[in-house]
A and B are shown apart, each in its own frame.
Chain A
Amino acid sequence: MKILKQAIACCLFFAVGFQQAEAKPISFAKGSTVMLEYGGGTMIEAQAFYAPKYWWSAGVGAIEFDLADNSTQERVTYVRFNGLAKRWNLPAAQANVFVWGGVGQARSNAFSGSEMAWNYGAQIDYETRRVYSSLRTDWQDADSFKHHTNTLQLGLAPYEHDYDTLATWVVLQARTYDRPLYDGVETALLLRFFKNGTWVEAGITNDKKLQAMAMFNF
Protein backbone atom coordinates (compact mmCIF):
# COMPACT_ATOMS: atom_id res chain seq x y z
CA MET A 1 0.00 0.00 0.00
CA LYS A 2 2.94 2.32 0.71
CA ILE A 3 4.20 1.83 -2.85
CA LEU A 4 0.70 2.47 -4.18
CA LYS A 5 0.46 5.71 -2.22
CA GLN A 6 3.80 6.89 -3.53
CA ALA A 7 2.93 5.99 -7.09
CA ILE A 8 -0.35 7.83 -6.98
CA ALA A 9 1.19 10.82 -5.22
CA CYS A 10 3.71 11.03 -8.04
CA CYS A 11 0.95 10.97 -10.63
CA LEU A 12 -1.38 13.42 -8.97
CA PHE A 13 -0.17 16.76 -7.76
CA PHE A 14 -2.79 17.83 -5.25
CA ALA A 15 -3.79 16.63 -1.79
CA VAL A 16 -7.44 15.89 -1.93
CA GLY A 17 -10.53 15.23 0.10
CA PHE A 18 -12.65 12.09 -0.08
CA GLN A 19 -13.85 11.32 -3.57
CA GLN A 20 -14.78 8.30 -5.61
CA ALA A 21 -14.66 8.19 -9.39
CA GLU A 22 -17.71 9.87 -10.85
CA ALA A 23 -17.22 9.11 -14.49
CA LYS A 24 -18.88 6.13 -16.14
CA PRO A 25 -17.49 2.76 -14.87
CA ILE A 26 -17.50 1.29 -18.38
CA SER A 27 -15.37 2.81 -21.15
CA PHE A 28 -16.23 1.14 -24.47
CA ALA A 29 -16.26 -2.34 -25.97
CA LYS A 30 -12.85 -4.03 -25.79
CA GLY A 31 -11.55 -1.02 -23.87
CA SER A 32 -9.60 -0.79 -20.67
CA THR A 33 -9.86 1.86 -18.00
CA VAL A 34 -7.43 2.80 -15.25
CA MET A 35 -8.62 5.23 -12.58
CA LEU A 36 -6.52 6.80 -9.83
CA GLU A 37 -7.80 8.99 -7.02
CA TYR A 38 -5.93 10.56 -4.14
CA GLY A 39 -7.72 11.77 -1.02
CA GLY A 40 -5.30 13.53 1.29
CA GLY A 41 -6.17 12.33 4.75
CA THR A 42 -9.35 10.46 3.78
CA MET A 43 -9.15 8.12 0.80
CA ILE A 44 -6.92 6.65 -1.88
CA GLU A 45 -8.28 4.40 -4.60
CA ALA A 46 -6.97 2.69 -7.72
CA GLN A 47 -9.08 0.71 -10.19
CA ALA A 48 -8.53 -1.12 -13.46
CA PHE A 49 -11.39 -2.45 -15.59
CA TYR A 50 -11.77 -4.18 -18.93
CA ALA A 51 -15.01 -4.05 -20.94
CA PRO A 52 -15.52 -6.97 -23.35
CA LYS A 53 -18.84 -5.38 -24.36
CA TYR A 54 -20.15 -1.83 -24.07
CA TRP A 55 -22.65 -2.99 -21.41
CA TRP A 56 -20.32 -4.65 -18.90
CA SER A 57 -16.85 -4.48 -17.49
CA ALA A 58 -14.92 -6.25 -14.74
CA GLY A 59 -11.75 -5.60 -12.90
CA VAL A 60 -9.93 -5.00 -9.67
CA GLY A 61 -9.51 -2.19 -7.22
CA ALA A 62 -7.89 -1.18 -3.97
CA ILE A 63 -9.18 1.47 -1.60
CA GLU A 64 -7.92 2.83 1.68
CA PHE A 65 -10.10 4.86 4.06
CA ASP A 66 -8.67 7.10 6.76
CA LEU A 67 -11.45 7.80 9.21
CA ALA A 68 -12.29 11.17 10.72
CA ASP A 69 -10.77 10.09 14.04
CA ASN A 70 -7.37 10.26 12.27
CA SER A 71 -6.26 7.00 13.83
CA THR A 72 -8.26 4.28 12.03
CA GLN A 73 -7.35 3.01 8.56
CA GLU A 74 -9.32 0.49 6.57
CA ARG A 75 -8.10 -1.12 3.38
CA VAL A 76 -10.09 -3.13 0.89
CA THR A 77 -8.85 -4.95 -2.20
CA TYR A 78 -11.64 -6.17 -4.42
CA VAL A 79 -12.89 -7.52 -7.69
CA ARG A 80 -15.91 -5.85 -9.24
CA PHE A 81 -18.41 -6.28 -12.04
CA ASN A 82 -20.00 -3.17 -13.63
CA GLY A 83 -23.14 -3.32 -15.74
CA LEU A 84 -25.02 -0.87 -17.91
CA ALA A 85 -28.61 -1.60 -16.90
CA LYS A 86 -30.19 0.86 -19.31
CA ARG A 87 -29.13 3.53 -21.84
CA TRP A 88 -31.12 6.09 -23.73
CA ASN A 89 -29.41 7.46 -26.86
CA LEU A 90 -31.21 10.66 -27.82
CA PRO A 91 -30.43 13.05 -30.71
CA ALA A 92 -28.59 15.51 -28.44
CA ALA A 93 -28.27 13.67 -25.12
CA GLN A 94 -27.48 10.39 -23.45
CA ALA A 95 -28.80 8.94 -20.18
CA ASN A 96 -27.53 5.83 -18.39
CA VAL A 97 -28.21 3.60 -15.44
CA PHE A 98 -25.16 1.69 -14.16
CA VAL A 99 -25.01 -0.93 -11.42
CA TRP A 100 -22.01 -2.65 -9.90
CA GLY A 101 -21.10 -5.22 -7.30
CA GLY A 102 -18.15 -7.16 -6.10
CA VAL A 103 -16.32 -8.76 -3.26
CA GLY A 104 -12.99 -8.24 -1.61
CA GLN A 105 -10.84 -8.51 1.43
CA ALA A 106 -10.80 -5.85 4.14
CA ARG A 107 -8.03 -5.21 6.64
CA SER A 108 -7.74 -2.55 9.30
CA ASN A 109 -5.71 -1.44 12.26
CA ALA A 110 -9.03 -1.63 14.16
CA PHE A 111 -9.29 -5.42 13.87
CA SER A 112 -6.95 -8.33 13.37
CA GLY A 113 -6.82 -10.53 10.32
CA SER A 114 -9.05 -9.87 7.36
CA GLU A 115 -12.77 -9.84 6.62
CA MET A 116 -14.81 -10.35 3.52
CA ALA A 117 -16.12 -7.05 2.18
CA TRP A 118 -18.93 -6.59 -0.33
CA ASN A 119 -19.13 -3.54 -2.56
CA TYR A 120 -22.19 -2.49 -4.54
CA GLY A 121 -23.80 0.59 -5.94
CA ALA A 122 -25.63 2.32 -8.76
CA GLN A 123 -25.43 5.48 -10.81
CA ILE A 124 -27.90 7.32 -12.99
CA ASP A 125 -26.67 10.09 -15.27
CA TYR A 126 -27.92 12.42 -18.00
CA GLU A 127 -25.74 14.57 -20.20
CA THR A 128 -25.71 16.79 -23.23
CA ARG A 129 -22.70 18.62 -24.63
CA ARG A 130 -23.50 21.47 -22.23
CA VAL A 131 -25.02 19.92 -19.12
CA TYR A 132 -23.96 16.94 -17.01
CA SER A 133 -25.87 15.45 -14.08
CA SER A 134 -25.38 12.26 -12.09
CA LEU A 135 -26.59 10.68 -8.88
CA ARG A 136 -24.59 7.83 -7.40
CA THR A 137 -24.81 5.59 -4.34
CA ASP A 138 -21.89 3.46 -3.15
CA TRP A 139 -21.49 0.83 -0.41
CA GLN A 140 -18.48 -0.92 1.11
CA ASP A 141 -19.82 -3.54 3.49
CA ALA A 142 -17.69 -5.63 5.86
CA ASP A 143 -18.42 -7.16 9.27
CA SER A 144 -16.53 -4.42 11.09
CA PHE A 145 -17.56 -1.43 9.00
CA LYS A 146 -20.14 -0.28 6.51
CA HIS A 147 -19.47 2.85 4.45
CA HIS A 148 -22.18 4.45 2.36
CA THR A 149 -21.74 7.50 0.18
CA ASN A 150 -24.27 9.36 -1.97
CA THR A 151 -23.01 11.80 -4.58
CA LEU A 152 -24.81 14.33 -6.72
CA GLN A 153 -22.92 16.08 -9.54
CA LEU A 154 -24.14 18.93 -11.72
CA GLY A 155 -21.83 20.11 -14.48
CA LEU A 156 -21.84 22.91 -17.00
CA ALA A 157 -19.57 23.22 -20.03
CA PRO A 158 -18.47 26.76 -20.89
CA TYR A 159 -18.27 25.62 -24.52
CA GLU A 160 -19.38 22.52 -26.45
CA HIS A 161 -16.45 20.20 -27.06
CA ASP A 162 -16.17 18.04 -30.13
CA TYR A 163 -14.57 14.67 -30.74
CA ASP A 164 -10.95 15.77 -31.07
CA THR A 165 -11.02 18.93 -28.96
CA LEU A 166 -10.37 19.54 -25.28
CA ALA A 167 -13.51 19.23 -23.16
CA THR A 168 -13.83 21.55 -20.16
CA TRP A 169 -16.44 21.26 -17.44
CA VAL A 170 -17.20 23.07 -14.18
CA VAL A 171 -18.82 20.60 -11.81
CA LEU A 172 -20.60 21.21 -8.52
CA GLN A 173 -20.64 18.17 -6.26
CA ALA A 174 -22.59 17.42 -3.07
CA ARG A 175 -21.81 14.29 -1.08
CA THR A 176 -23.03 12.60 2.09
CA TYR A 177 -21.05 9.93 3.93
CA ASP A 178 -21.63 7.75 6.95
CA ARG A 179 -20.44 9.45 10.10
CA PRO A 180 -17.14 7.65 10.76
CA LEU A 181 -15.86 9.13 7.49
CA TYR A 182 -17.44 12.57 7.49
CA ASP A 183 -20.22 14.34 9.35
CA GLY A 184 -22.64 16.37 7.24
CA VAL A 185 -22.76 17.24 3.54
CA GLU A 186 -19.54 17.92 1.72
CA THR A 187 -19.72 20.21 -1.29
CA ALA A 188 -17.00 20.70 -3.86
CA LEU A 189 -16.31 22.74 -6.96
CA LEU A 190 -14.38 20.78 -9.57
CA LEU A 191 -12.72 21.57 -12.88
CA ARG A 192 -12.77 18.69 -15.34
CA PHE A 193 -10.80 18.28 -18.57
CA PHE A 194 -10.73 15.41 -21.02
CA LYS A 195 -9.38 14.77 -24.49
CA ASN A 196 -9.00 11.52 -26.39
CA GLY A 197 -8.52 8.85 -23.71
CA THR A 198 -7.36 11.05 -20.84
CA TRP A 199 -9.58 12.61 -18.14
CA VAL A 200 -8.31 14.73 -15.26
CA GLU A 201 -10.33 16.47 -12.59
CA ALA A 202 -9.36 18.66 -9.62
CA GLY A 203 -11.28 20.83 -7.21
CA ILE A 204 -11.75 22.22 -3.75
CA THR A 205 -14.24 21.28 -1.01
CA ASN A 206 -16.13 23.45 1.47
CA ASP A 207 -13.44 22.35 3.97
CA LYS A 208 -10.86 23.83 1.59
CA LYS A 209 -9.42 20.45 0.76
CA LEU A 210 -8.28 19.71 -2.75
CA GLN A 211 -9.64 16.74 -4.70
CA ALA A 212 -8.22 15.14 -7.86
CA MET A 213 -8.82 12.19 -10.10
CA ALA A 214 -7.22 10.87 -13.29
CA MET A 215 -8.66 8.31 -15.66
CA PHE A 216 -7.26 6.72 -18.79
CA ASN A 217 -9.10 4.76 -21.47
CA PHE A 218 -7.19 2.70 -24.00
Chain B
Amino acid sequence: MKTVSKFVLAITFLVLPVFAQAKTIEMEVNGLVCAFCAQGIEKTMRKFPATEDVVVSLENKLVAISLKNGQDISDTQLKKAITDAGYTMVGIKRSEKTIGDIRTKVKS
Protein backbone atom coordinates (compact mmCIF):
# COMPACT_ATOMS: atom_id res chain seq x y z
CA MET B 1 0.00 0.00 0.00
CA LYS B 2 2.81 2.36 0.91
CA THR B 3 4.45 1.59 -2.47
CA VAL B 4 1.17 2.25 -4.30
CA SER B 5 0.70 5.58 -2.47
CA LYS B 6 4.22 6.66 -3.33
CA PHE B 7 3.63 5.63 -6.93
CA VAL B 8 0.38 7.61 -7.19
CA LEU B 9 2.04 10.63 -5.58
CA ALA B 10 4.95 10.45 -8.02
CA ILE B 11 2.62 10.22 -11.00
CA THR B 12 0.60 13.17 -9.70
CA PHE B 13 3.70 15.35 -9.38
CA LEU B 14 4.72 14.39 -12.91
CA VAL B 15 1.30 15.04 -14.44
CA LEU B 16 0.33 18.23 -12.56
CA PRO B 17 2.86 20.57 -14.27
CA VAL B 18 1.46 19.52 -17.66
CA PHE B 19 -2.07 20.45 -16.66
CA ALA B 20 -0.83 23.68 -14.98
CA GLN B 21 1.01 24.83 -18.21
CA ALA B 22 -0.32 28.27 -19.20
CA LYS B 23 -1.77 28.41 -22.72
CA THR B 24 -1.47 32.18 -23.22
CA ILE B 25 0.51 35.13 -21.98
CA GLU B 26 -1.14 38.53 -21.88
CA MET B 27 1.01 41.64 -21.68
CA GLU B 28 -0.17 45.14 -20.95
CA VAL B 29 1.89 47.55 -23.06
CA ASN B 30 2.17 51.36 -22.99
CA GLY B 31 2.56 53.39 -26.18
CA LEU B 32 0.29 51.21 -28.31
CA VAL B 33 -1.58 53.92 -30.25
CA CYS B 34 -0.57 53.40 -33.88
CA ALA B 35 -1.05 50.11 -35.73
CA PHE B 36 1.37 51.11 -38.50
CA CYS B 37 4.14 51.54 -35.94
CA ALA B 38 3.21 48.49 -33.85
CA GLN B 39 3.79 46.01 -36.67
CA GLY B 40 7.21 45.32 -35.21
CA ILE B 41 5.76 43.89 -32.01
CA GLU B 42 3.91 41.11 -33.81
CA LYS B 43 6.97 40.31 -35.93
CA THR B 44 9.17 40.13 -32.82
CA MET B 45 6.74 37.93 -30.90
CA ARG B 46 6.37 35.48 -33.80
CA LYS B 47 10.14 34.92 -33.83
CA PHE B 48 10.02 33.04 -30.52
CA PRO B 49 10.01 29.29 -31.28
CA ALA B 50 7.41 28.79 -28.53
CA THR B 51 4.92 31.21 -30.11
CA GLU B 52 1.89 29.66 -31.74
CA ASP B 53 -0.15 32.82 -32.37
CA VAL B 54 -0.19 36.55 -31.52
CA VAL B 55 -2.98 39.04 -30.88
CA VAL B 56 -2.37 42.80 -30.63
CA SER B 57 -5.11 45.15 -29.46
CA LEU B 58 -4.63 48.94 -29.26
CA GLU B 59 -7.99 49.35 -27.51
CA ASN B 60 -6.96 47.01 -24.71
CA LYS B 61 -3.23 47.99 -24.70
CA LEU B 62 -2.66 44.27 -25.12
CA VAL B 63 -0.15 41.95 -26.72
CA ALA B 64 -1.15 38.30 -26.24
CA ILE B 65 0.75 35.18 -27.23
CA SER B 66 -0.48 31.60 -27.33
CA LEU B 67 2.19 29.02 -26.62
CA LYS B 68 2.94 25.74 -28.35
CA ASN B 69 2.34 22.66 -26.20
CA GLY B 70 4.90 22.20 -23.49
CA GLN B 71 6.82 25.35 -24.41
CA ASP B 72 7.23 28.65 -22.63
CA ILE B 73 8.86 32.09 -22.89
CA SER B 74 10.20 33.74 -19.75
CA ASP B 75 8.92 37.08 -18.48
CA THR B 76 12.45 38.48 -18.88
CA GLN B 77 12.61 37.48 -22.54
CA LEU B 78 9.18 38.97 -23.21
CA LYS B 79 9.95 42.24 -21.46
CA LYS B 80 13.18 42.55 -23.44
CA ALA B 81 11.35 41.83 -26.70
CA ILE B 82 8.74 44.52 -26.01
CA THR B 83 11.47 47.00 -25.01
CA ASP B 84 13.53 46.15 -28.10
CA ALA B 85 10.44 46.86 -30.19
CA GLY B 86 10.31 50.38 -28.69
CA TYR B 87 7.45 49.92 -26.24
CA THR B 88 7.04 49.55 -22.48
CA MET B 89 5.55 46.48 -20.82
CA VAL B 90 3.74 47.36 -17.61
CA GLY B 91 2.02 44.09 -16.76
CA ILE B 92 2.07 40.39 -17.58
CA LYS B 93 -0.16 37.45 -16.72
CA ARG B 94 -0.43 33.84 -17.78
CA SER B 95 -3.68 31.97 -18.14
CA GLU B 96 -5.45 28.96 -19.55
CA LYS B 97 -7.51 31.10 -21.92
CA THR B 98 -7.21 30.24 -25.58
CA ILE B 99 -6.02 32.81 -28.08
CA GLY B 100 -9.43 32.46 -29.71
CA ASP B 101 -11.12 33.59 -26.47
CA ILE B 102 -8.84 36.61 -26.31
CA ARG B 103 -9.41 37.46 -29.96
CA THR B 104 -13.19 37.27 -29.44
CA LYS B 105 -12.98 39.42 -26.33
CA VAL B 106 -10.94 42.20 -27.96
CA LYS B 107 -13.16 42.31 -31.03
CA SER B 108 -16.38 42.60 -28.97
Contact = CB atoms under 8 A, between A and B. Distances in A.
Contacts of B38: 28, 163
A28 to B, nearest CB: 2
Contacts of B40: 27-31, 54
A56 to B, nearest CB: 11
Is chain B's interface secondary structure helix, strand, loop, or mixed overall? mixed
Contact of B39 (A89, A162, A217): A217
B79 to A, nearest CB: 13
Contact of A28 (B56, B85, B106): B85
Given A28-B85, A55-B86, A89-B30, A129 B36 contact: no
A90 interface: yes
Given A89-B87, A162-B59, A127 B34 contact: yes
Nearest to B42: A163
Contact of B33 (A24, A128, A165, A196): A128
B15 interface: no
A27 B40 CA distance: 8
Contacts of A93: 31, 33
Is chain A's interface secondary structure helix, strand, loop, or mixed overall? loop
Interface size class of chain B, counting residues whose CB lies under 8 Å from the partner chain: 20 to 34
Contacts of B35: 161-165, 167, 194-196
In the complex, which of the residues B38, B40, B57, B88 has the most CB atoms of chain A within 10 Å of its own CB atom? B40
A164 B39 CA distance: 10
A90 B86 contact: no
A120 interface: no
B84 interface: yes
A91 interface: yes
B71 interface: no
Nearest to A194: B36
In the complex, which of the residues A29, A84, A167, A194 has the most CB atoms of chain B within 10 Å of its own CB atom? A29
Interface in A191-215: 194-197, 199
Nearest to A89: B31
B84 A54 contact: yes
B37 interface: yes
B61 interface: yes
B43 interface: yes
A53 interface: yes
Contacts of B34: 94, 127, 167
Contacts of B37: 24, 27-28, 94
B69 interface: no
B30 A129 contact: no
A89 B88 contact: yes
B104 to A, nearest CB: 14
Given A54-B40, A90-B30, A161-B35, A29 B88 contact: no
Interface of B: 29-31, 33-44, 56-59, 61, 84-88, 90, 106
Given A160-B59, A162-B106, 9 more contacts: A28-B43, A54-B86, A87-B31, A89-B31, A89-B86, A89-B88, A90-B30, A92-B33, A161-B35
